[in-house]
A and B are shown apart, each in its own frame.
Chain A
Amino acid sequence: MAIDAPGEMPGDATGGMPTRMVPAAAISAIGAGAVAVLALWWADTPAVVGLDEWLTGAGRITGLLAGYAITVLLALMARIPVLEHGVGSDRLARWHAMGGRYVVCLAVSHTLLIIWGYAVTDGTGIVSETVTLNLTYPDVLKATVAVLLLVGIGIVSARAIRPRLRYETWFHLHFYTYLAAWLAFGHVLADGNEFIGNRTAQAAWYALYLGVALVLVWNRFLTPIRQALLHRFTVTRVIEEAPGVISIHIAGRRLDRLKIEPGQFFRWRFLTRGLWWSANPYSLSAAPRRNGLRITVKDLGDHSRGLAGIRPGTRVLAEGPYGSFTARRRTRRKVLLIAGGVGITPLRALFESIPAAPGDLTLLYRARTSEDLVFRTELEQISARRGTGLLYCVGPRSVVGDPFTPHTLTALVPHLPDHDVYVCGPTGMTGRVIPALRAAGVPRRRIHHESFEF
């Protein structure tokens, strides 16, 4: 991973490119790849004659795009440092989710269009053509399994079902996309009209898939192991901050080489019998110290519940640091931090460390009950020491009303449109805060938000 390469400055994580250029560059690169794939079809197709060729042609295009887009999806999740820092892990996850639905639609369209198109050409029925395709064309049966896997993963990830699943179940089902990509690979080269006799296209297709596979193995497998050997993370203390909220202190060697910025997170894998198989993202809840890090976790699922039983001395694998929710995004002198619930964690680190003169930094902290206010003592100490504003809003909305209206926000924070605003909280809250901030006159580019739901 490039972030701890010797001699690299924090600003170099994005290869010298200004951070805000990275999303546009990434989207351009993805688009250019799609155009190249379409060009492959274009160059190979002399004419489109008759209904069957319209259908088959559409089937080929959707198929090529699906085959390409699945590599994009995997690359988005390959923890590529430039993307993690420049685009942000939460945004990558959103792109991945949107793209995932798109790929499932493309793969299904490809399947149906090809069956229909071939059936029209052969003058047979849909069912018999489906059988023929699966049983007589090389590798098509495997591709059918792949498309069914993709549809299955798509259904499981759908908004209606996803909340009913354990995070871990859903997460591990996703590994079947690797299987799907591998199963579908064969039929592209064996049956894809565009690849017959076209060595360049075949080589490019191989390069695309092998390249993504290498990046995945490197970033998701080898880098964590290398970091574990180098830093030897170990749990030192577990402290209950509030009901259902615990802080875990983790010691490690040579932490300075990680070039951690407050606001970032790691993906943590605690090596205990029940937890080792899952790496979960948790933000650092304090600015990094020389020999120790702290994360704070709320009981949101089975994994975070299992963390309460962690003992000091437990070894930890950590991937990171990730995330662009840092002081680097800031463009103004004045800064407002808006935290909801356990969303306080990265903001607590920023509140402590983001450079600001007294009066220029304000933290607005929303919690359901005063018991849910974690770090209360710490926050008040920081506030007193740094001369920063600290506002709590505690109580159910039915009692205290909605604090996130343009009117209330403007009244609470003088010169609001002149601030950079960092928002972290549950999706429901950020969904109300951001429009309110926009209405209160904060430009979109100065609203930085991170969702902690991956």
Chain B
Amino acid sequence: MRSAIFAVIVTATGLVLLLSFKPHNVTAAPERPGVMSDPPAGDANGQADTPATSGKKSTGKAVPKVTANPGSWPGDGAGLGETAGEKVISGVVADTRFGPVQVQLVLSDGKITGVQVLQAPQESRRDFSINSEALPILDQEALAAQSARIDTVSGATYTSDGYVRSLQSALDRAGL
């Protein structure tokens, strides 16, 4: 009995300590859009930022990202529309349980060369942290697949679903 009480106290104390060692104000946490444009180097998610348009590998920190995009979720469509022959097409706003998802495609010679998320659920920090990890993966998948037949990111089922619907509608609009 004594050891049980001890275990409960140690666990509860440990929990509170662990949680209390983390920063507790929003400013200390990464800014919402900022987390997209400057992911931590070496993080598994950093790879998702590799611009597929240029075809070269890059790590998250080495490449200064161009974030001249209108949405809160700038994707890999940096510099879109600057070159002749590039077309920008928005998908429909796909509603999900947690909020709307909308993507925009950059097409060049009938190929997807950039994907940009115009909107995605970011009401809560939970939505935000999930989507900031999931959306780059989805962007990558879309660029690689050149279609809307992409895998759902585990843990972000709803966003994935909305993403695919919006992406498909953009492809439909482009006549692909």
Interface residues in chain A, defined as those with a beta carbon under 8 Å from any beta carbon in chain B: 38, 41-42, 45-50, 52-54, 56-58, 61-62, 98, 101-102, 105-106, 118, 121-122, 136-138, 189-193, 195-200
- Is A53 within 8 A of B125, CB to CB? yes
Assuming A197-B133, A200-B44, what are 7 further A-B pairs, CB within 8 angstroms?
A48-B24, A98-B4, A101-B4, A121-B124, A193-B155, A197-B44, A197-B153
| List of A residues within 8 angstroms of B134 by Cβ | 196-197
| CB-CB under 8 A for A46 and B29, given A56-B126, A101-B4 | yes
Which residues in A have their C-beta under 8 angstroms from that of B9? none
Residues of B within 8 A of A189 (CB): 154-155
B3 within 8 A of A: yes
18 A-B contacts (beta carbon < 8 Å) = A38-B18, A46-B23, A47-B25, A47-B28, A48-B24, A49-B125, A105-B8, A118-B126, A121-B124, A121-B125, A137-B157, A189-B154, A190-B157, A193-B129, A193-B155, A196-B133, A196-B154, A197-B44
- Decide: B25 and A199 in contact? CB cutoff 8 A: no
A interface majority secondary structure: helix
Q: Which residues of B contact A118 (CB under 8 A)?
A: 126
- Contact between chains at A57 and B23 (CB < 8 Å): no
What sequence of 0s and 1s flags, for each residue 151-175 of chain B, a beta carbon within 8 Å of any chain A beta carbon? Answer: 0011111100000000000000000
B22: contacting residue among A47, A121, A137, A138, CB under 8 A: A47
Q: How far is the CA of A42 from the CA of B28 in the complex (A)?
A: 16
Q: Are B154 and A48 in contact (CB under 8 A)?
A: no
Give min CB distance, B124 to chain A, whole Å.
5
Contact A191 B19 (CB under 8 A): no
Q: Could you tell me the distance between the alpha carbons of A54 and B97 in the complex, rounded to whole angstroms?
A: 24
Q: A195 vs B155: C-alpha distance in the bound complex, in angstroms?
A: 8
- In the assembly, what is the distance between CA of A192 and CA of B137, in Å? 17
Task: Describe B's contact surface by its main secondary structure.
Answer: helix
B97 and chain A: residue at smallest CB distance? A136
The answer, among B3, B124, B137, B158, for a CB contact under 8 Å with A197, is B137
Residues of B within 8 A of A46 (CB): 22-23, 29-30, 129
User: In which size bucket is the chain B interface?
Assistant: 35 or more
Contacting pair B155 A191 (CB below 8 A): yes
B residues 2-27 touching A (CB-CB < 8 Å): 3-4, 7-8, 11, 15, 18-20, 22-26
Residues in B neighbouring A38, C-beta threshold 8 A? 18
Using known A-B contacts A47-B22, A53-B125, A54-B19, determine if residue A196 contacts B29 with beta carbons closer than 8 Å: no
**Residues A197 and B45 in contact in the complex (CB < 8 Å), given A62-B15, A138-B157:** yes
Q: How far is the CB of A302 from chain B (nearest CB, A)?
A: 30
Q: Indicate which residue in B25, B44, B97 contacts A49 across the interface (CB closer than 8 Å).
A: B25
Given A192-B155, A196-B154, A200-B44: A47 in contact with B24 (beta carbons within 8 A)? yes
CB distance from B5 to the nearest CB of A (A): 12
Knowing A122-B124, A193-B130, A199-B44, say if A47 contacts B155 (CB, 8 Å): no
Least CB distance, B67 to chain A, in whole angstroms: 20
User: Which residues from chain B contact A102 at a C-beta distance below 8 Å?
Assistant: 7
**Pair B48/A197 contact, Cβ less than 8 Å:** yes
With A53-B125, A57-B19 as contacts: A47 and B3 at CB distance below 8 Å = no
- Chain B nearest Cβ from A62, distance in angstroms: 7
Chain A residues with CB below 8 A from B126, complex form = 56, 118, 121, 193
Known A61-B15, A101-B4; contact A45-B154, beta-carbon cutoff 8 A: no
Residue among B3, B45, B126, B157 having the largest count of chain A Cβ atoms under 10 Å: B126
How far in angstroms is the closest Cβ of chain B from A107? 13
A49 and B24 contact, CB distance less than 8 A: yes
* Nearest A-chain residue to B152, judged by Cβ: A138
Q: Give complex CA distance A45, B8 in Å.
A: 24
B156 contacts across to A, CB distance below 8 A: 196
Among A46, A189, A192, chain B packs the most CB atoms within 10 A around the CB of: A46
Please indicate the chain A residues that have their CB under 8 angstroms from the CB of B44 in the complex: 197-200
- Return B128 CB to nearest CB of chain A, in Å: 10
Which residues does chain A contribute within 8 Å of B29, judged by CB atoms?
Answer: 46-47, 49
Q: Is the CB of B22 within 8 A of A48?
A: yes
Contacts of A61 in B (CB 8 A): 15, 18-19
8 A Cβ contacts from B87-108 to A: 97
Determine whether the beta carbon of A196 is less than 8 Å from that of B155.
yes
- Find chain A residues with CB under 8 A from B158 CB: 136
Q: Which of A41, A47, A105, A106 contacts B23 (CB 8 A)?
A: A47
Q: Give min CB distance, B132 to chain A, whole Å.
A: 10
- Distance in angstroms between the alpha carbons of A189 and B157 in the assembled complex: 12
Is A47's CB under 8 angstroms from B18's CB?
no
Q: Which residues of B contact A199 (CB under 8 A)?
A: 44
A325 to B153, CA, bound (A): 52
Q: Which residue of A lies closest to B16 (CB)?
A: A58
Contact of A58 with B15 at beta-carbon distance under 8 Å, contacts A47-B22, A49-B24, A101-B4 already known: yes
CA distance A118 to B125 in the complex (A): 11
How long is the Cα–Cα vector from A47 to B15 in the complex, in angstroms?
14
Q: How far is the CB of A265 from chain B (nearest CB, A)?
A: 26
Bound Cα distance from A190 to B158, whole angstroms: 12
**With contacts A49-B125, A138-B157, A191-B155 known, is A58 near B19, CB below 8 A?**
yes
Cβ of A134 to closest chain B Cβ, rounded Å: 14
**Contact: B26 with A49, CB < 8 Å?**
yes
Contact of A48 among B11, B19, B30 (CB under 8 A): B19
Q: Is the CB of B23 within 8 A of A48?
A: yes
Q: A98-B3, A138-B157 are in contact. Are A196 and B19 (CB under 8 A)?
A: no
Residue in chain A with minimal CB distance to B157: A138
Query: In the complex, what residues of B have CB within 8 A of residue A121's CB?
Result: 124-126
